[in-house]
Amino acid sequence: MLQTVIIGGGVMGLSIARQLNAQGRHIHIIDRSTPRMNASYAAGGMLGAQNEFFEDTPLYRLAMASRAMMPDIAQQLLMETDIDIELQTYGLIKVATTAQHVPAVKKQFEFLSQQDHKIYELSRHQLRARFPHCNIDDCAAFKIHDDGQINANLYTQALLQSVSNLLHIDLHIQTEVLQIMEHASHYRVTTSKGDVYADELIIAAGAWSGALLQQLGMNLPTQPVKGDVKLIESSYSQLKETIFNMNGCYIVPKKPNRFLIGATSELDNWSTQNKAENLQWLDAESQSMIPDLCEHRVIKTWTGIRPITPDGVPIMGALRDNLYISTGHYRNGILLSPIVGQLMAQLVDGRTSAAQQLKPFSPIK
């Protein structure tokens, strides 16, 4: 029986494990499960396949395909685990509320509206109604119908529950990988709870993937981008769509009467502590867009570490016959996880069509 080890139990590692062919294979997922030392549980849950792109790229195409997979995944996870990942499909408004960001919104609208005729620009009247405290002359916005959202925390929990139900998968939680050594045709993975031997090794350890690969003498740097997030409760009931400001602040309506306000972005910051000034920025920016959110109760605040690569493009593919990597999904890992799980699993199973689709993201240039 082939022993397959996946390092990382975030949405990437879990999605790959869930889709890997069980035939002749035993899978071990190893995760240190340290609170706040991951991205998946911390994410806003936006499925921003259009929100995040300004041009047609291989990643944009993967994102669009992945977004389309999410309704089925939500259904499957509900059946398998009883966890509702709270898929909402009310769309997203992309907005600039300062003159500085208006050209970027206009440019993105130009690209997206050629691809999708349902996307429309908000009129001055609509802008004034939506953003009453903003100077309309310095604003621009458009509505994307199909960018939905899920509860990323519940999604990650559901994936974890789903794989833990599978007999061919062993979950090694609260287990830290300390060392990886190559031994002839396999790898010895030394963990805080003993050694695990791998015939196939998949590194999906988020922002920590680069450091793990270095142990095998390979240099594929991954960096952290820390984000602060805040969840509030408010009686404001006029918002169903996500609002995403070009300056990075977004408001994602969650159930019931809750709003997830995100997120700051600090490159090369591994801290897992909220910074007071970052939370103040989230308050100021969200309330400048929706003044009614001034009246709220804070449910909680948290941080997450997004994995990014130097050129911002995820790295996904084979490094050798039995060594694979999937990381660097930065702000879009929740959105991309359905298709990445599928393609990476097919790649490990030797499917050439998956290798072809993942070619633009190959770790070997």
Q: Which residues bind ligand FAD (CB under 6 A)?
A: 7-13, 30-32, 34, 37-40, 42-46, 176-177, 204-206, 208, 227, 229, 262-263, 304, 306-307, 327, 329-335
Shortest approach of ligand FAD to residue 9 CB, angstroms? 5
Residue 3 or residue 15: which is nearer to ligand FAD going by CB? 15
Nearer to ligand FAD, 7 or 102 (CB): 7
- Cα radius of gyration rounded to whole Å, the chain: 21
Give the nearer residue to ligand FAD in terms of CB position, either 43 or 87: 43
Minimum distance of ligand FAD from residue 123's CB (angstroms): 28
Of the pair 134, 180, the CB lying nearest ligand FAD is at: 180
- Rounded to whole angstroms, the Cα distance separating 251 from 296 reads 13
CB of residue 131 vs ligand FAD: minimum separation in angstroms? Answer: 21
Question: Strands 297-308 and 223-233: what pairing?
Answer: antiparallel
* Closest distance to ligand FAD from the beta carbon of 141 (Å): 19
Of 204, 242, 268, nearest to 86 by C-alpha is 242
Is the separation of the CB atoms in 295 and 235 below 8 Å? yes
Nearer to ligand FAD, 50 or 102 (CB): 50
Interatomic CA distance for residues 304 and 322, integer angstroms: 30
Q: Of 249 and 263, which CB lies nearer to ligand FAD in the complex structure?
A: 263
Q: Which is nearer to ligand FAD, 121 or 266 (CB)?
A: 266
CB of 105 vs ligand FAD, minimal distance in Å:
19
- Identity of the residue, 234 or 272, whose beta carbon is nearer to ligand FAD in the bound complex: 272
* Alpha-carbon distances, residue 207 vs 203, 204, 248, 275, 359 (angstroms): 11, 9, 20, 20, 21
**Closest distance to ligand FAD from the beta carbon of 79 (Å):** 23
Q: For the CB of residue 174, give the shortest distance to ligand FAD in the complex, in Å.
A: 9
Signed CA dihedral, 331, 332, 333, 334: sign only: positive
Q: Among 243, 253, 254, 235, which residue's Cα sits nearest to residue 131?
A: 243
Q: How far is the CB of 101 from ligand FAD (least distance, A)?
A: 19
**Closer of 134 and 333 to ligand FAD (Cβ):** 333
What is the distance between the alpha carbons of residues 160 and 140, in angstroms, rounded to a whole number?
A: 40
Smallest separation (angstroms) from ligand FAD to the CB of 69: 13
Shortest Å distance, C-beta 227 to ligand FAD: 3
Between 34 and 135, name the residue whose CB sits nearer to ligand FAD: 34
Is residue 264 within 8 A of residue 248, CB to CB? The reply is yes
